[in-house]
A and B are shown apart, each in its own frame.
Chain A
Amino acid sequence: MNCWECGAPGAAMFCEGCEAVQPPDPRLDHFARLGVEPRFDQDPDALSAAHRALQRRVHPDRYASAGDRPRRFSMAQATALNDAIRVLRDPLRRAEYMLHLRGRDVGAEGEGRVQLSPAFLMEIIELREAVDELDGPDAHTERSRMAREVAARFEGMLTALGRRLDAGDDDLDAMAQLAAQLRYLRRVIDELQVDDGPGDWT
């Protein structure tokens, strides 16, 4: 892009010539926007640090006394950065986003929709029945135990999916299936945790 202010070519977030803030480049994906490697394996602290370092330069507070255009562009840049960190900070969202970049939308409707395997669905049905049948004084403990079990399974599957993504696995169908199952498991985990209420630190 050419700088809107001085016309110099090749302006990124800022123009190299006049340092004017530029509108966000729509061609950048979230990884490129934060300047990190497009990998599943990410150091969360490094991701946050990248986000902070860029916000430090481009946040609207830095342009509180600037003109209308730089103020608007800084707002758009800050918004894009917040969106990027929101998606990349969460490992499942990050995995789904990587599949999206490779042309597979896990949340797609219509033809591209991911069909969950019948075996997985049966398993979930059975798990839910087991939760429903919980009763008696140990129900709460048992429920927490199941929540931990599902959470452990979630973590294991997510790690496996991440490895496949980073290894350049071509089986998009299988990985999309995994991601869809992970979504489902996360919902189950959320439901299992509803009972706990906001009371505990744990």
Chain B
Amino acid sequence: MKAIGIDLGTTNSLVAVVQDGVPTTLPDDAGRVLLPSVVAYRDGVAVDVGHEALAAAAANPHDTVMSVKRFMGRTKAEVDAEALATHRVQQDGAVLRIMAGGACPTPVEVSAEILRVLRARAVHALGGGVTKAVITVPAYFDDTQRNATRQAGMLAGLDVLRLVNEPTAAALAYGLEKQTEGRFAVYDLGGGTFDISILHLVDGVFEVLATAGDTRLGGDDIDRAVAEAMLAEAGVDSDAADGALRRRAVAAATAVKMALTDTEQATYVLELADGRVFTHRLDREALAALMAPVLARTAGPCKRAMADAGLKPKDLDGVVLVGGSTRAPAVQAFVADLFGRAPLCDIDPDRVVALGAAVQADLLSVDSELRLIEGGDVLLLDVIPLSLGLETMGGVVEKVIHRNSQIPASRAQQFTTFQDGQTGMDIHVLQGERELVEDCRSLARFRLTGIPPRPAGAARVAVTFQVDADGILHVKAREEETGVEQSVRVEPSHGLSDAQVEAMLQASLDHAEEDVMARLLRTAQVEAERVLMPLDRALSDDADLLSPEEAAIIREAMDDLRVAIKGTDHRAIQDLTELLDRVSAGFAQRRMERALAAGLRDVRVDDLESELADAPVGGGAHD
């Protein structure tokens, strides 16, 4: 049985399949491969999907659902936060509903309508028996959005073998076509999202080296920018333009943008609210100027991904363009300038993602055709897009698995108790790139209880993060002496909107230095306290082990450190902590010897060990 590949796009969707060893997009009866991602509703039911629905959209804007991908896995609050929401929506418990044509379908249901049409197209072309599919998603889709996409597939009667990231799928299609090895950047400017991925293809393995993106940036933004300019040109106050006029302007903008791909000048016609018809010419240069601010926003993610991959533009063997928007000459010029090389665009950027999805679908099926072909048997090694970590003392996030780590992945981090006799430990799982807890996304919280009471620092808890091949996180906390254990299955970025992902990433860049400083200061203060606290007690208990000079040196070092802790210079604190550590090392050693000699009469070995264990909090498992 054939497994199909589906590109469920914001603007258009496609279906492809590997036939006779070659990935091919499947056309409809009229020979069109693109299915507009548009669903028309009437009297509470979906009546049209695709071209017909799109054609009727201008006449029945309120009965037509467009760009449903933007609503997947989102809440009303998130949709409302986006100024240009095109549909009226309502929140129904945990579910978002779109108001259209007497129906109120969920985004999952609308997407399922599109998927059903594509599936029927495949059944028709292949002669029945299509149930398995790979569906593509933007690399930066969070877990909620991925789950929604998976649900839509199920609702359409598909067994979703895997969700594949769109840029990765595109690279897969290119790799197969070109049969070359090397490092590629995939620049994917879709209707609603921007993704950049850096991949390495060698020995039939596609390694994703790094990925970055912006989930609120796409060709639609270009269309809106052009539409705004048109309205301004026509003398319409943008705020006064109603939904219908705005839609007509966006449609005209899309048309003029496409026309300018092949011509130097294009004319658009816009029917205004009062019935007047406004006609205007736009040339390529003017369009490029309107596109520039949108394109400029793609540079940051590109540089971040390249830095994460440890590559310079000269290390790349090619830059691949994906997404209909990359047809525009201005986009190609921008990418050529950014990467210092002309981009590859020999596979139709509209089809390349679907073709790659078909490749992965074939490779995941039992009767794969490609596996039998020389060079056809490729494997994808993917990464996680956002770091996963834990809260430690002082509200600092300790990253356990870093962004762009290859999955599946597993990492253990050791933590110690902070207080004498502490029997419980809160495990707080976080996602994001920032240093402080309040700036990251909280994924889960649980408490490990039953830790045997010990002096601070003596009980050790190992926290293990496991991320499986589908990106699902499992967290386990285990006290090492007794083996007490707690675990939780976490859906990474559950409930995290793509806007939040983007905002979090942006913020981590904006605040990089400030963050690092705050983290360093808090960590240094906590460390210093850990050295100071037990020393106070030790000095009063075992003062006789020290000469007055030795005691004076230690006290002086302690006083200096106490002064430094109140300040904001983390380096002074670190340095003075190290110094105190050194001047008191002999003392700790003598106390240990005394305790052993005394047969542990008064002092428990644990106490002494905890003094010696003056390492940083949570410092157990640095690499």
Chain A residues within 8 Å of B, Cβ to Cβ: 48-49, 52-53, 55-56, 59-62, 64-65, 75, 78-79, 82-83, 85-87, 90, 93, 96, 107-111, 113, 115-116, 118, 121, 124-125, 128, 183, 191, 194-195, 197-202
Contact = CB atoms under 8 A, between A and B. Distances in A.
B408 A49 contact: no
Given A61-B363, A191-B516, A110 B306 contact: no
B426 interface: no
B594 interface: no
A82 B407 contact: yes
B272 interface: no
A194 B512 contact: yes
Interface string B564-584: 000000010001001101100
A109 B613 contact: yes
Contact of B612 (A49, A110, A128, A195): A110
Contacts of A64: 161-162, 364
Given A78-B408, A107-B620, A121-B578, A61 B205 contact: no
Nearest to A117: B582
Contacts of B609: 110-111
Nearest to B203: A52
B408 A60 contact: yes
Contacts of A194: 512-513, 516
Give the secondary structure class of B's interface.
Answer: mixed
Given A86-B405, A107-B621, A109-B615, A198 B516 contact: no
A116 to B, nearest CB: 7
A48, A62, A110, A199: which has the most chain B beta carbons within 10 Å?
A: A110
B619 A83 contact: no
A62 B363 CA distance: 8
A110 B205 contact: no
B623 A195 contact: no
Contacts of A78: 408, 469
A107 B306 contact: no
B403 to A, nearest CB: 13
Contacts of A53: 203
Nearest to B460: A109
30 contacts: A52-B203, A52-B381, A56-B379, A59-B469, A61-B363, A64-B161, A64-B162, A64-B364, A65-B365, A78-B408, A79-B409, A82-B407, A82-B409, A83-B409, A83-B411, A85-B406, A86-B406, A107-B621, A107-B622, A108-B615, A110-B609, A115-B581, A115-B582, A116-B578, A121-B575, A191-B516, A194-B516, A197-B512, A198-B307, A202-B312
B424 interface: no
Interface of B: 161-162, 202-205, 207, 300, 303-304, 306-307, 312-313, 363-366, 379-381, 405-411, 416, 466, 468-469, 509, 512-513, 516, 571, 575, 578-579, 581-582, 585, 609, 612-615, 619-623
Contacts of B313: 201
Nearest to A80: B410
A178 B205 CA distance: 37
Given A78-B408, A86-B405, A195 B613 contact: no
A55 B571 CA distance: 43
Contacts of A83: 409-411
Contacts of B614: 109
Contact of B379 (A61, A79, A115): A61
B205, B409, B620: which has the most chain A beta carbons within 10 Å?
A: B205
Contacts of A79: 408-410, 466
B543 to A, nearest CB: 24
Contacts of A121: 575, 578-579
Contact of B204 (A56, A113, A199, A201): A56
A75 B304 contact: no
B298 to A, nearest CB: 13
Nearest to B409: A82
Contacts of B408: 60, 75, 78-79, 82
Given A49-B203, A56-B203, A75 B468 contact: yes
A198 B571 CA distance: 24
Nearest to B509: A198
A191 B468 CA distance: 33
Contacts of A107: 619-623
